[in-house]
Structure 1
Amino acid sequence: MPISPWIVLAAAALEVAVGNPEAWRWRVPHPVAWIGALISRLEMALNRPGRSESARRLLGVATLAMIIGVSGLAGWLIQRLGGPYLVALVGAMGLAQRSLLDHVAAVALPLETGDLQEARKAVGMIVGRDVERLDESGVARAAIESLAESFNDGVVAPVFWFVAGGLPGLFIYKAVNTADSLIGHREPRWRAFGWASARFDDLLNLAPARLAGALIALAGRGGWTAMARDAGKHASPNAGWPEAAMAGALGVRLGGPAWYDGGLVQRPVLGEGRTPRPSDLSRALSIYMMACAILWTVLALGGFAWLR
């Protein structure tokens, strides 16, 4: 159910202009919160420790099918019964351009003024690593990696599926992405039950992640070589594309060792050159905003083609 790129562009512009005001959060709960609550309840009810791994995997597949059906049906009903203005308004809630910018800028400001403790606190809101171990370079690296990966998850992929599948496509993508975040882990509790959600999230992000990497390379006027060489080194089949492109565009190294829950994880290095500096985070934000502008331009061109 493709939708006019003009409607998607209007939703993107609305999200940047308005964001997600605090007042909306208690008056109208975000759709992701609804689907997250559903996933958590299903996980608690179905993912029983006493069940076999094969049974838990099968129940995980059923859970994925249920959340796809519920979210897709909700999107179809809104799009069917509402007009283009309502579709744009609801669609704006599935995008995260403004919120991603705000969260990463909240790290950049104290980092540039030398307030390392406040920068650690801010970056702890967007990454899962042990932030107390991070120096200035580590904070900058963590924020840049999160910005690049979230450019796909929060901007490019939602826009891609919004255009390709209308509100049902957007809702399904957000639901699956939320399921991957909540249950798509490798720890024993979730490994079998969340397997289907994690794999389907990988599938939905295959094309958008590569598009996100290309947009970053275009916006940063570089990064193509690093992306082609290093994207496949990442543990994720998708996250490496925008992260490697950002590393190449900035001329820095991303990835490498990082502490999680008290344990040191040796991650592959993406890009080459020096380690990131605080100023590189501001440069990454500029590249991010330019990449969003290029994406908007693509939507506008698609809108003109849609009218022909």
Structure 2
Amino acid sequence: MDALAVFALALLWDLLLGEPPALVHPVVWFGKLAGLFDSRYKRHSPALDFLAGIATAVLVIAFAFLLSISPFFALYPLNYVLAVYLLKSSFAIRSLHEHVARTVTEDIEEKRKAVSMIVSRDVRKLDKPHLNSASIESLAENLNDSVIAPLFYFLFFGLPGALIYRAVNTLDAMLGYRNERYEFFGKFSARLDDVLNFIPARLTVLFYLPLGGRRVFRYYRLARFKINSDKPIAVMSAVLGVWLEKPGVYRFPGRTPEDRDIKRALRVYWLIVAEWLIIVSLLLATEVCPCLSR
């Protein structure tokens, strides 16, 4: 199959139509499958919980792999339709913009509700600046998770790479918590997500350089709190000149973030998305990277 054609059609789908319905969305399926194993497994001991977590991750990843190779067993033109649909399901450009844009409001309760849809932290006691920060942080982190990384793995490993990445990222989002329930059960998923995001998170940082220069490097060096997720957040803080903080975890310096800074962050988002889409298109057009088998 023509990787560039599949990518172009998937991108067109994303920008014009957004996300497929939840009922037929592969990423939703990954989450439901992980949730099913999570709810059925009764915790026992750290060792058994860790092994059960590995088994859960392997089964979800195997399901993602089987989905990803389904187009290669379908006849033309169904093979293209499936490939476009599955690739589109691995990234979310339009919907990320829409979710973050909804947090731009003067009504604190509406803002709180909108922010709660895109972050896992408890927003009930956050003041307006911290809600603005959470919105921008989510945009910066998900720029990597929902745009850069899935297409990075598509470039090198085709549909299996894109969908397996999204499966691992979903596993981490659902199970990768440091609490009594998930400390051992979710550890494998969390560490695997760290491995897969190591290069994309740093690649994402590079796209900020034309916008922030040396300040980007300076803030990148401040990002020592997490293996990956704080890197894109730090450089977004650098470019906007606002503080971004997850209380008790990290804080990057700057002035107080306001609603207008969320709008500025969205403009930065689209500039970086454009940079990345041009690069992906050129690499696919010149066949520099191995991708969909022909």
TM-score (norm 2): 0.89
Distance 2:79 2:139 in 1: 33
- What SS is found at the alignment partner of 1:193? coil
1:218-237 matches, within 5 Å, as 218-219=210-211, 223-231=215-223, 233-234=224-225, 236-237=226-227
Q: Check conservation: 1:5, 1:163, Cα contact below 8 A.
A: no
Identity percentage of aligned residues: 36
Which residue among 49, 61, 75 is the counterpart of 1:56? 49
Distance 1:152 1:307 in 2: 22
Alignment match, 2:238: 248
Instruction: Tell me which amino acid in the other structure corresponds to 1:278.
Output: D
Alignment match, 2:147: 155
Q: Check conservation: 1:213, 1:241, Cα contact below 8 A.
A: yes
1:18-37 matches, within 5 Å, as 18-20=17-19, 24-25=21-22, 28-37=23-32
Map Cα deviations across residues 148-174 of structure 1 (whole Å, 9 max, x no partner): 001111111111112222111111111
Instruction: Tell me which amino acid in the other structure corresponds to 2:92.
Output: A
Which residue among 267, 272, 289 is the counterpart of 2:249? 267
Alignment match, 1:262: none
- What SS is found at the alignment partner of 2:185? coil
Distance 1:196 1:30 in 2: 24
Shift of 1:245: 0.9
1:135 and 2:127 correspond: yes
Against the structure 1 CA distance between its residues 85 and 10, is the aligned structure 2 distance closer, same or farther, given a 3 Å change threshold? Answer: same
Q: Check conservation: 1:56, 1:193, Cα contact below 8 A.
A: yes
Which residue among 255, 260, 283 is the counterpart of 1:279? 260
In the alignment of these two chains, the number of paired residues is 286
Instruction: Tell me which amino acid in the other structure corresponds to 2:17.
Output: V
Against the structure 1 CA distance between its residues 161 and 92, is the aligned structure 2 distance closer, same or farther, given a 3 Å change threshold? Answer: same
Alignment match, 1:89: 85
Q: Check conservation: 1:217, 1:246, Cα contact below 8 A.
A: no
Q: Check conservation: 2:26, 2:86, Cα contact below 8 A.
A: no
Shift of 1:72: 0.7
Map Cα deviations across residues 224-270 of structure 1 (whole Å, 9 max, x no partner): 22343122x22x3111111011000111221252xxxxxxxx22222
**What's the RMSD between the two structures over aligned residues?**
2.3
- What SS is found at the alignment partner of 1:131? coil
Which stretch of structure 1 is more off in the superposition, 148-157 or 114-123? Answer: 114-123
Shift of 1:85: 4.3
Alignment match, 2:292: none
Alignment match, 1:7: 6
Residue ranges of structure 2 left out of the alignment (5+ in a row):
290-294
Distance 2:179 2:127 in 1: 28
Map Cα deviations across residues 40-68 of structure 1 (whole Å, 9 max, x no partner): 2222333x23x221111112112222222
Alignment match, 1:260: none
Alignment match, 2:40: 45
- What SS is found at the alignment partner of 1:138? helix
Distance 2:5 2:288 in 1: 10
Q: Check conservation: 1:219, 1:291, Cα contact below 8 A.
A: no
Which stretch of structure 1 is more off in the superposition, 70-79 or 291-300? Answer: 70-79
Which residue among 168, 182, 206 is the counterpart of 2:198? 206
Residue ranges of structure 1 left out of the alignment (5+ in a row):
258-265
Q: Check conservation: 1:8, 1:159, Cα contact below 8 A.
A: no
- What SS is found at the alignment partner of 1:165? helix
Q: Check conservation: 1:123, 1:139, Cα contact below 8 A.
A: yes
TM-score (norm 1): 0.85
1:17 and 2:7 correspond: no
Distance 2:217 2:278 in 1: 24
1:73 and 2:66 correspond: yes
Instruction: Tell me which amino acid in the other structure corresponds to 2:70.
Output: L
Distance 2:39 2:139 in 1: 32
Q: Check conservation: 1:149, 1:239, Cα contact below 8 A.
A: yes
Distance 1:96 1:222 in 2: 30
